[in-house]
Amino acid sequence: MIDADSDHHTNPFFFPRRIAVIGASREKGSIGARVLDCLRSGGFSGSIIPVNPHADSISGLRAFPSLMAVPEPIDLAVITVPAHLSLSIIDECAAKGVPAVIMIAAGFAERGEKGAGIEQKLRAKIQQHRIRLIGPNCFGVMNLDPTIRLNATYTPVLPPFGPVSIASDSGGVGAMVVMAARRVNLGISTYVSLGNHVDVNVNDLLEYWEQDANTQVILLYLETIPDPQRFRQLAERIGSHKPIIALKAGRTTAGQSAAGSHTAALATDDRTVDALFSQCGVIRASRVEEWLALAMAFSNHRRPTGRRVGILTNSGGAGVLCADSCEKEGLVVPPLPPSVSATLASFLSPLAALTNPVDVIGLATEEQHAAATETLLGSDALDALIILYLSINVADNDQAAAGIIRGIRAARQAGSRKPIYLCWMAEGDRDRLFSIDGEAIPTYHTPELPAFVIGRLSSYEAWRQQSLDNVGLPSARELPHLDLPQAKAICAKALLDRGPCWLTTEEVQALLGTVNIPFLGRLATHPDAAVRTAETIGYPVAVKLASRHILHKTELRAVYLNLTDEQAVRQAFHAIKDRLAQAGKSDLMDGVLVQPMVSGGVELLVGATRDPHFGPVIAVGLGGIHVELLGDIQLGLAPLTDHDVSRMIRDLKGYPLLTGYRSRPVMDVRGLEDVLLRISCLVEAITDISQLDLNPIIVLPEGRGCRVVDARVLVQASSEH
């Protein structure tokens, strides 16, 4: 992250030999004093050098009045002085040759204009000096690697060492996991509080963690995603080996798109984030509790290879709640093979339930807990086991826990590789941990969470397989019949002639033609031309207002369908013209569009907007008025892959309409996929296109492709988006 060539273990943020604490203070409770204490009490294996103009020694360490006074080189400076002093300190770091800085101090962009001004200068200065910086306004960095034991934060709580690395846009939210780690049996490798991420951001950390053998699971709390395209590439590449679990605060960005566009109105920020995450396999948590629960589950290297879940409980009600949750998460709670039930019957109480969920009943003995656990872990009919224990008496807990542990140990020794999730509902004994021969069993306290995590583990595994199989698939860029230079020329000419504008109907048709997407019909500016076109197409035809300015043609009653002769076409032309004249909008009429009638297809919407932050976003949804009210729409970020378009279409609730619903024909899903890939190429390549709506586009039966019935394209110089 500092230098791709440098040896990993020399990274100055994570493996510094000498740390200077600037602003180290003797004043108890100050950040400087706290950081110094944390570094020392954490057992840092390198040297700690306090820098303070007013002290010779702090906490028994020799202090220096300035960085320049330190005789040895410094790998990392931790700056705790206030914002207004930060710039001169950076100059000093540069003079001393310090390669890396953690700036904990707050008072930058997060606190208004003045702070933003300092932050801007800070950014310029570190770029100038080629210093890498974490922060400002951050909580610091931890590296729990036993060879370094670095705690450059101001919490003295050190989590156990383990596979999880954390990056957080909020010092507190990240620290919450660090603080909870020991209680929930979660091992942490590194923790980075990103603060205002003036320099080092989540993407830099992903790259670092990709190489870091300690890190096996990546946990993110994000309020923004810097450089989403880079994030996507990195997350996809790294996530298939090291699962990435994200809690994203759902703040919406200010709407940027022109009013009235269907696509724009629906592409809210949070749905875009969802699209991004599902495209690159990031596992999203929507609540703090889920986030932590997923971290625990993914930390265990055993993961389910299927969706069949066994439930072992000592409370019928808890079993029912858990089974409900499994079903909700798309998991299966299958009946047990008779041989398994028979085995259970041989040692459980006659009052026990031998089905799945298996209820050993409240007063089960240690022996019964052990034998039931071992039996279910030994069954090939299950891919994962949830064990629910509800205590009604603290005195019973030890024997239940002992039984469960014995059962797990015996099953592991017999070769069972099935993952296990515990729900330990034992009041007064909630913090009991289950570590069995080095394996930390994820342990929760409500019957819903184990089902939730197994659902996400299964979905991740499916994505990972697909992602690994994906290598070598043709990319969208290899589609035939793309003439992107011509597309670019059409948009550039419109921009040059008229500035930011909606393309005319002819321009839209030509533009879609360059990417081989058929737009139905032809423009006619005179009744005679309309009739000639109708005769070329063949009756019946539709005649519609062509206007780049008027969005809702149906509401203006400027759409005539099923016209069967010359007379009707002429009447329609004049009626549309008159209606516009009456409305005082004659100048908005480009002419009429004469189209063949299409039947037997399904109406959809395909659109693209350009999110100011995420770039081009492509949408597909069921067409008609329902798209907005019912919100059956799926988004994807360009460039779309084959897998992306396939997922987008299949995730529509209305997808069955395309697959032979109620004896309708099977529709041309491949054709629709092709359109989405082409639109993705178009908007990715032609940055002047700021908005595009194909609405409706008709998907015809299999083999017959799609037809665009109406479309709008807004061009705008890309610098002005």
Q: Using the rule CB under 8 A, which residue among 19, 22, 24, 31 binds a copy of itself?
A: 31
Structure tokens at 713: 């394209």
Q: What is the distance between the alpha carbons of residues 514 and 507, in angstroms, rounded to a whole number?
A: 11
C-alpha distances (whole Å) from 525 to each of 88, 484, 553 are 69, 29, 17
Distance between terminal CA atoms of the chain?
31
The values of phi and psi at residue 171, to 5°, are -55, -45
Binding to a copy of itself by residue 625, rule CB under 8 A? yes
Binding to a copy of itself by residue 650, rule CB under 8 A? no
Q: Using the rule CB under 8 A, which residue among 40, 664, 670, 704 binds a copy of itself?
A: 664
Q: E-assigned strands of 488-576?
A: 501-502, 522-524, 541-546, 559-563
Stretch that binds a copy of itself, among 249-257, 403-411, 496-504, 633-641 (CB under 8 A): 249-257
Return the number of the residue (33 or 482) whose C-beta is nearest a copy of itself. 33
The answer to whether the beta carbons of residues 373 and 312 sit under 8 Å apart is yes
Binding to a copy of itself by residue 541, rule CB under 8 A? no
Return the number of the residue (632 or 674) whose C-beta is nearest a copy of itself. 632
The values of phi and psi at residue 46, to 5°, are -100, -160
Return the number of the residue (524 or 672) whose C-beta is nearest a copy of itself. 672
Tell me, by CB under 8 A, how many residues bind a copy of itself. Answer: 76
Taking CB under 8 A as the criterion, which residues in 352-381 touch a copy of itself? Answer: 353, 361-363
Structure tokens at 211: 């190489």
Q: E-assigned strands of 457-612?
A: 501-502, 522-524, 541-546, 559-563, 591-596, 602-611
Taking CB under 8 A as the criterion, which residues in 459-488 touch a copy of itself? Answer: none
Structure tokens at 3: 């230098």
Return the number of the residue (172 or 499) whose C-beta is nearest a copy of itself. 172
Taking CB under 8 A as the criterion, which residues in 270-309 touch a copy of itself? Answer: 287-289
Binding to a copy of itself by residue 402, rule CB under 8 A? no
Return the number of the residue (139 or 231) whose C-beta is nearest a copy of itself. 139
Stretch that binds a copy of itself, among 466-474, 655-663, 686-694, 712-720 (CB under 8 A): 655-663
Taking CB under 8 A as the criterion, which residues in 114-173 touch a copy of itself? Answer: 139, 154-157, 168-173
Binding to a copy of itself by residue 185, rule CB under 8 A? no
Stretch that binds a copy of itself, among 90-98, 229-237, 272-280, 345-353 (CB under 8 A): 345-353
Stretch that binds a copy of itself, among 1-9, 245-253, 374-382, 612-620 (CB under 8 A): 245-253
- What 3-state class would DSSP assign to 533? helix
The pattern of x and - marking residues 574 through 613 that bind a copy of itself according to CB under 8 A reads: ----------------------------------------
Return the number of the residue (44 or 291) whose C-beta is nearest a copy of itself. 291
Binding to a copy of itself by residue 250, rule CB under 8 A? yes
Q: Using the rule CB under 8 A, which residue among 204, 632, 674, 710 binds a copy of itself?
A: 632
Q: Using the rule CB under 8 A, which residue among 8, 9, 84, 183 binds a copy of itself?
A: 183
Binding to a copy of itself by residue 447, rule CB under 8 A? yes
Taking CB under 8 A as the criterion, which residues in 419-438 touch a copy of itself? Answer: 425, 427-428
- What 3-state class would DSSP assign to 51? strand
Return the number of the residue (450 or 639) whose C-beta is nearest a copy of itself. 450
Stretch that binds a copy of itself, among 5-13, 93-101, 175-183, 511-519 (CB under 8 A): 175-183
Place of tokens 């022996």: 367
Return the number of the residue (448 or 693) whose C-beta is nearest a copy of itself. 448
Q: Using the rule CB under 8 A, which residue among 654, 671, 696, 705 binds a copy of itself?
A: 654
Q: What is the DSSP secondary-structure string of 309-328?
A: EEEEES-HHHHHHHHHHHHH
Binding to a copy of itself by residue 350, rule CB under 8 A? yes
504, amino acid identity: T
Q: What is the distance between the alpha carbons of residues 195 and 514, in angstroms, rounded to a whole number?
A: 46
Return the number of the residue (317 or 335) whose C-beta is nearest a copy of itself. 317
Alpha helices (H) along 186-227: 202-211
Looking at the DSSP assignment, which residues form a beta bridge with residue 189? none
Place of tokens 């979660």: 186
Q: What is the distance between the alpha carbons of residues 677 and 706, in angstroms, rounded to a whole number?
A: 13
Taking CB under 8 A as the criterion, which residues in 73-112 touch a copy of itself? Answer: 106-107, 110-111
Report CA torsion sign: 205, 209, 214, 220.
positive
Taking CB under 8 A as the criterion, which residues in 682-711 touch a copy of itself? Answer: none
The answer to whether the beta carbons of residues 218 and 165 sit under 8 Å apart is yes
Task: Give 658's DSSP letter.
Answer: G
Report the run of H or E that residue 551 belongs to, with start and end. none
Q: Using the rule CB under 8 A, which residue among 318, 331, 384, 385 binds a copy of itself?
A: 318
Minimum distance of a copy of itself from residue 716's CB (angstroms): 26
Binding to a copy of itself by residue 336, rule CB under 8 A? no
Q: Are strands 61-62 and 57-58 parallel, antiparallel or unpaired?
A: antiparallel
Binding to a copy of itself by residue 314, rule CB under 8 A? yes
Q: What is the DSSP secondary-structure string of 64-113?
A: BSSGGG-SS--SEEEE-S-GGGHHHHHHHHHHHT--EEEE----SGGG-H
Minimum distance of a copy of itself from residue 132's CB (angstroms): 23
Angle between helical axes of 366-377 and 394-413 (0-180°, round to 10)? 30
Q: Using the rule CB under 8 A, which residue among 147, 599, 663, 719 binds a copy of itself?
A: 663
Minimum distance of a copy of itself from residue 420's CB (angstroms): 20
Structure tokens at 161: 């060492």
301, amino acid identity: H
Binding to a copy of itself by residue 316, rule CB under 8 A? yes
Q: What is the distance between the alpha carbons of residues 333 and 311, in angstroms, rounded to a whole number?
A: 8
Return the number of the residue (68 or 392) whose C-beta is nearest a copy of itself. 392
Minimum distance of a copy of itself from residue 555's CB (angstroms): 5
- What 3-state class would DSSP assign to 562? strand
Taking CB under 8 A as the criterion, which residues in 192-231 touch a copy of itself? Answer: 221, 223
List Cβ neighbours of 601 (8 Å cut-off, separation of 6 or more): 667, 698, 699, 700, 701, 707
Return the number of the residue (353 or 501) whose C-beta is nearest a copy of itself. 353
User: How many H-runs (helices) and E-runs (strands) does the chain carry?
Assistant: 21, 32
Return the number of the residue (250 or 612) whose C-beta is nearest a copy of itself. 250
